[in-house]
Structure 1
Amino acid sequence: MIRVGLIIDEFFGGAGTAFGGYGFLAREYISKYIPNEDIEVDVLLGKGSKKLCVEEYEIDNISAYRLPRRKWFAKRWLKKRNYDLYLSIELTDNYILMNEPNKNKKLILWIQDPRPKYEWDEIETVKLFPEYNYYNQNIYDLVHDWYKQERVKFISQGNFLNQKAIDLYNLDKDVNIQYLPNPIDIDERFDVQNFPKKNMIIFLGRIESVKRGWLFCEIAKKMPNYEFYVLGKTHREESKNSEIMSDYYAISNLHFVGHVKGLEKERYLKEAKILVNTSIHEALPISFLEALSYGTLLVSNRNPEDLTSKFGIHVGDVLGDGFDKVDLYVDAINHLLSNNEEREKISKEAIEYIKTIHNVPKFISDLRKVIVEESK
């Protein structure tokens, strides 16, 4: 039995954590599909509130833990658990690895959204409500040190992210980074050609500064003949985010649905024709893949792996608060909705792309293989 410690700071609502993309991957894909008769996965949520004792949770038949705040007790607990290796979705906290007493343990680092300083410079052009900057050189230095000790296996959800990871972790230019795309559950019964999609436009994600949800609202204001739905809620800085968004509650064709999941989320993804993403910064968001799996096309100022330009319209860079560029999104939406034949053709191509590149069986096989190889 290979014992894997999955290091993550959120578990999509589990143990009171936030609902974010990393947690979604951890809970809905890694913890759900990777354990088998040969691999056991524990979720490690970093430092807990108790000084001497570990905090344990049972979530979806997976054990999750927060470690003691006193380092000696954390080290003792990790020594007892004796994980064969660690797996981290990016690395947002170094408490676990700092307290691992065995200097031979390895880390599989799944590159998801590396943010070197130049990425934060771009994010900080937003002035309406600044994003919390979590840049932490200590974490990046730790990854660098483990890498130099040949203790890190890098995998990446997108090739376009690799240079950012090289810059962030100060890696050699020829570092081996294995392509391992994020998985998406695919509804094989869904037939986009015969499904009656609506003139519905959706926003799917957290309502936070970096997402610039106010731009989606401004778009809805300019397009009263279409229905716009905000699927998501605020997690950080709730009062400030809510204050900004409350100015838009009176728009009659704009609907604030809140956090959605399961069949409810699937219904919106199936019925919508377009997903709009207005973020100042993105890696390759799960929401893009989910939308494309149902033939819902993309309109965004972000173009990860060229997916927006292939399966929708990339409006170009939109920096700052973005109010001066709202018409770019409006024009893109109008183009897609007024050209049904073109949109339907691209919708079918999008679904086939997701089925080929982001299917779950391939993800299971590839990640299990990496885990087995790195545990030797």
Structure 2
Amino acid sequence: MKKIKVGLIIDEYFGGAGTAFGGYGFLARRYIAKYLPNEHIQVDVLLGKSKSHYALEHHIIDNIDVYRLPRRKWFAKRWLKKQNYDIYLSIELAYRYILELDIDKKLIFWIQDPRPMYEWDEINTVTLFPETSYYNQKLYDFIHKIYLENRIKFITQGFFLNQKAKDLYKLADETEITYLPNPVDIDYNFDLMTHKKENMIIFLGRIESVKRGWLFCEIAKKMPEYQFYMLGQTFREADKNSVIMAPYINGNIPNLHFPGHVDGIEKENFLKNAKILVNTSIHEALPISFLEALAYGTLLVSNRNPENLTSTFGIHVGDVLGDGFDKVELYVNAIRHLMENDEHRLALGKQAIEYVKSVHNVEKCINDLRTLIHKEVKK
């Protein structure tokens, strides 16, 4: 039986081929490309355009073929025709180049973080270091166009994102959007009741404007009795981010640590040993970091409450707009409440682990995605 060829359209691949270390790239590299291929499905990663007008850029990363296409459409179109992908899969959609060239193929569009203008209005309340907007009406109009042509199948990582996607892409209210949660690796040998966690609070993510990492640092200053670890580094607009963060990195805050980008066993150990993950972002969808933390019974404190996960497995401090300095005490009080009540924290942690096991386990999520791919290719 001929393998189904899936072209995974993404603009970053978690450090692969010189790309940034972001959430979409992490999902693409560590989950889709790692687990989706089998004897019936082949996955190639398509990162957009190469530097050359004529030449293809090819990498092999973790035994997966990763391509950037020639910039000249004629050469790119000829290569796509030869590849003859059966279907495309995208995590949101960063560019329309490939789908404009391969006009007969369908796209499975995984809704991860749709940002209508009202979301940008909130993001733009940050003044200390404003986030550069990537709002792209032409791209959203293109998605609407192929939706009208019945070339797109929408799936979503969270029910709360569906209305935002309908608003952004001008979809009819009755548009079918299939629920397919993000998978997360689970250590089934981890026992929250016997593992001795530390008085550690972590931040996990890129250090960028939208994440408002400065608030995590301000929280640490007010809670010297606990150890705070900021896990991540800057990528986009690194110079501006570094100026903002330099006083904290170089300052005299003994309980605030900056390990930088962590991965693999090192990251797992932080997640296992921390009691709380703090998220201070002005905007989030449903970060994989939330799921990774919950998989180890590490609770959430955040001003964002995707799928009600923060309020269910931690404390939702409410909306915090702008730079957020005036709301630092909300995070401090929430952290203190959880840290001083071990019995409550452990009970929530056990529930969190069971939730991740039942909803976000890799085998179920990947099998559901494979089934959907087979179904859409046969249509």
TM-score, structure 2 normalization:
0.98
CA shift at 1:233, angstroms? 0.3
Distance 1:322 1:303 in 2: 17
Rounded to whole Å, the distance in 1 between the matches of 2:298 and 2:206 is 19
* Shift, 1:74, TM fit: 1.1
What CA deviation, in whole Å up to 9, does each residue of 1:82-136 have, x standing for no partner?
1111000000111111222xx3210000000000111111101000001110011
After superposition, give the CA deviation of every residue in 1:15-66 in whole Å (9 maximum; x if it has no partner). 0000001000100010001111111110000011011011000000000000
Q: SS of the counterpart of 1:64?
A: strand
- Confirm or deny that 1:275 pairs with 2:290: no
Q: Which residue of 2 aligns with 1:237?
A: 237
Q: 1:256: which partner in 2?
A: 258
Partner of 2:62: 60
Distance 2:237 2:48 in 1: 22
2:166 match: 166
> Which residue pairs with 1:107 in the alignment?
107
2:9 alignment counterpart: 7
Distance 2:40 2:196 in 1: 44
Identity within the alignment, %:
71
Structure 2 counterpart of 1:289, from 281, 291, 310: 291
Residue 79 of structure 1 corresponds to which residue in structure 2? 81
Residue type of the alignment partner of 1:275: L
1:247 counterpart SS class: helix
CA shift for structure 1 position 75: 1.1
CA deviations on 1:245-278 (whole Å, 9 max, x unpaired) are 1111221100001000000000000000000000
Structure 2, unaligned runs of 5 or more: none
Q: Deviations over 1:316-366 (max 9, x none)?
A: 000000000000000000000111110010000000000000000101110
In the other structure, the counterpart of 1:210 is 210
Deviant stretches of 4+, over 4 Å: none
Q: Which 10-residue stretch deviates more, 344-353 or 136-145?
A: 136-145
Which amino acid letter does the alignment assign opposite residue 320 of structure 1?
G
* Structure 2 CA distance for aligned equivalents of residues 23 and 163 of structure 1: 24
Contact 2:99 2:105 survives alignment (8 Å): no
The 8 Å contact of residues 212 and 281 in structure 2, kept in 1 or not, is answered as yes
Moved more, 239-248 or 321-330: 239-248
User: What is the aligned partner in structure 1 of residue 246 from structure 2?
Assistant: 246
Query: Which residue of structure 2 lines up, in the alignment, with residue 189 of structure 1?
Result: 189
Distance 2:371 2:150 in 1: 19
- Write the mapping of 1:258-337 to structure 2, written as runs, cut at 5 A: 258-337=260-339
Aligned to 1:135: 135
Report whether the alignment pairs 1:220 with 2:216. no
- 1:90 paired with 2:92, answer yes
Separation in structure 2 between the aligned mates of residue 151 and residue 83 of structure 1, nearest angstrom = 14
Contact 2:224 2:255 in 1 (8 A): yes
CA distance in 2, matches of 1:320, 1:344: 33
In structure 2, C-alpha distance between the alignment counterparts of 1:95 and 1:212, rounded to whole Å: 33
Q: Distance in 2 between matches of 1:238 and 1:29?
A: 27
Q: Secondary structure at the residue paired with 2:171?
A: coil
**Count of residue pairs brought into register by the alignment:** 374
C-alpha distance in structure 2 between counterparts of 1:325 and 1:99, whole Å: 49
What is the CA–CA distance in structure 1 between the aligned matches of 2:27 and 2:371, rounded to whole Å?
Answer: 18
- State the SS of the aligned residue for 1:10: coil
**Which residue does the alignment assign to 1:119?**
119
- Please, which of 349, 361, 364 is the counterpart of residue 362 of structure 1? 364
In structure 1, C-alpha distance between the alignment counterparts of 2:132 and 2:49, rounded to whole Å: 20
User: What letter is aligned with 2:116?
Assistant: P
Distance 2:224 2:366 in 1: 44
Query: Within 2, Cα distance between the matches of 1:235 and 1:99?
Result: 31
Computed over aligned residues only, the root mean square deviation of the Cα atoms, in angstroms, reads 0.6
Aligned partner of 1:21 in structure 2 is: 23
